[in-house]
Structure 1
């Protein structure tokens, strides 16, 4: 089954050409099933690229997905046209009374800031608390995952002496985890961050590390108590995402290392090779499948006492 997107959203044509099953809102309304309601809180500057990346991953499952794009209420995007934001995004305060089967919170290039220095931090805290009463499962990505680990557990992010930038192999720590069904013993994943969360501090709070790298540390973490996953790297990246970041820094004269493990023979004159796409689809497909298996059919039950205690959810 397809992912439901507005036909005028740029991601619709991109994914349709790639063979991803997409369907317009009118067609979805004629199908006699309840689609999964997945929201994307998009904190990245380049909104269109990011929404396309995540729509590609969650739209690759055999389930119908109803995707809602969310932005912070007062924060204005400087890199995406206001017309696009007005047409396709809803401010959080407008959707806060709705319930969702899943929420993805993206990263944001604000790692250098303390959380309290982030202009929308108060509303972000509100969003994270809201997930416990209005969202069945949450997926925090990079800064989004770090913010959730800090908010719920006070696990601090630590500034790195040099940026983790490239493609890294993360080994599977929990082979029988339902989130890692179909994974190889390790998985290649793009990394682009200036901060890290440390294994001992995560485990001290009862968080379970599912993927970890010797070079870049914890990659994927399960927070069962908050029905959440935190991934600090970027399975959603396009083949050329790191290349565009590298080329931008070179053009700006910013000191930057060649992203490791990314180009053939570490030669930036050669095209990069995508070695993470299959594991990205597995991870997000497993997440969607787990949501499908456990979310209440009646969305009004999401976040209720019986849902939180595991007494109410039944498969769709």
Structure 2
């Protein structure tokens, strides 16, 4: 799916060099279609890295995707330059009167804080509430998944004895689900977190379905029955070396981290890790864009609320976007 992004954004050259189709705004204006409007609320410290990771998987399809990068006001980023943020990011107040086909809320390294102790918690709650009427489908990643499950359903997170870090095997619970369509019966995905949610707590909520889970990592892809809210407890978007960077960072800090499981060949940290989840990430994000966004949202995005009401309990194909 060609991405409609600013040519100066670092991801433009990174993805172009990977032969991924991206286009600048001038070229996009020559195509007579409505692009899918996707917002990314980036809560990760290394924002450029996260941009590259997510945009890589929102690409290579016949449709345009127009990306809006969001940041929170209540937190000052220490790892991304203010020049980058000022040029490429906007605040929620600037877009809250718009409608979006999709929204992605990233994880954040604040797991060991109580939700209400996070400095931008109230702002995040406002955005999640806004998304109920202004976004057709939202993906919440890692900590954001825990935060949303807590906000919407009161599901608590629990601190783990040791950080869960590595590549874990997962099974698909519902082969008919569009989000997991095409995934192998057993597939791999990265996790990196200090906290977890319990399966039994999710099963108490009739509106939720566990589409995929891991014996070691627990519930992985959770969704409402209409797929308007999706919760991913791991990091399918991670690069091959992301877990390695995190391990080396924690090691240098004297945190004595455990070696990420199933990541380094033979557990040897001097060996180059192998990427065993890239195709799974492509399938998941492709399924989301196709089945939950493109096939459902109306051409007139201002009518998105009407479409939400129609598709609360069933998959309703939308008119074409061209």
**Structure 1 residue aligned with 2:319:** 314
**Structure 2 residue aligned with 1:167:** 167
Query: Offset at 1:303?
Result: 2.4
Secondary structure at the aligned position of 1:55 is classed as: helix
**Structure 2 residue aligned with 1:299:** 301
Query: Offset at 1:147?
Result: 1.0
**Structure 1 residue aligned with 2:247:** 246
Is residue 17 of structure 1 aligned with residue 17 of structure 2? yes
Is residue 68 of structure 1 aligned with residue 50 of structure 2? no
Looking at structure 1, the residues matched to 177 and 317 of structure 2 have their Cα atoms a distance apart, in angstroms, of 23
**Structure 1 residue aligned with 2:51:** 51
Secondary structure at the aligned position of 2:295 is classed as: helix
- C-alpha contact 2:296 2:317 (8 A) present in aligned 1: no
Query: Offset at 1:183?
Result: 0.6
Looking at structure 2, the residues matched to 150 and 315 of structure 1 have their Cα atoms a distance apart, in angstroms, of 36
Pair 1:151–1:313, CA change in 2 (3 A)? farther
Is residue 205 of structure 1 aligned with residue 219 of structure 2? no
CA RMSD, Structure 1 to Structure 2 (Å): 1.4
Looking at structure 2, the residues matched to 203 and 93 of structure 1 have their Cα atoms a distance apart, in angstroms, of 35
Query: Offset at 1:59?
Result: 1.1
Looking at structure 2, the residues matched to 178 and 226 of structure 1 have their Cα atoms a distance apart, in angstroms, of 9
- C-alpha contact 1:166 1:192 (8 A) present in aligned 2: yes
Query: Offset at 1:167?
Result: 0.6
| Residues 186-235 of structure 1, C-alpha deviations (whole Å, 9 max, x = no match) | 11111100111111110101210011011110011012357111000000
Secondary structure at the aligned position of 1:180 is classed as: coil
Looking at structure 2, the residues matched to 60 and 154 of structure 1 have their Cα atoms a distance apart, in angstroms, of 37
Looking at structure 2, the residues matched to 313 and 184 of structure 1 have their Cα atoms a distance apart, in angstroms, of 28
Query: Offset at 1:302?
Result: 1.5
TM-score, normalised with respect to structure 1 = 0.97
Query: Offset at 1:312?
Result: 9.8
**Structure 2 residue aligned with 1:83:** 83
- C-alpha contact 1:296 1:312 (8 A) present in aligned 2: no
Secondary structure at the aligned position of 1:247 is classed as: helix
Q: Which moved more, 1:76-85 or 1:217-226?
A: 217-226
For structure 1, the residue ranges without an aligned partner over 5 or more in a row are none
What is the aligned length? 315
**Structure 2 residue aligned with 1:220:** 221
- C-alpha contact 1:301 1:312 (8 A) present in aligned 2: no
Q: Which moved more, 1:118-127 or 1:246-255?
A: 246-255
For structure 2, the residue ranges without an aligned partner over 5 or more in a row are none
TM-score, normalised with respect to structure 2 = 0.95
- C-alpha contact 1:296 1:302 (8 A) present in aligned 2: yes
Looking at structure 2, the residues matched to 64 and 226 of structure 1 have their Cα atoms a distance apart, in angstroms, of 22
- C-alpha contact 2:145 2:233 (8 A) present in aligned 1: yes
- C-alpha contact 1:158 1:196 (8 A) present in aligned 2: yes
| Residues 259-296 of structure 1, C-alpha deviations (whole Å, 9 max, x = no match) | 01000001010000000000000000000001100001
**Structure 1 residue aligned with 2:194:** 194
Q: How does 1:246-265 map to 2 (within 5 A)?
A: 246-265=247-266
**Structure 2 residue aligned with 1:237:** 238
Secondary structure at the aligned position of 2:179 is classed as: helix
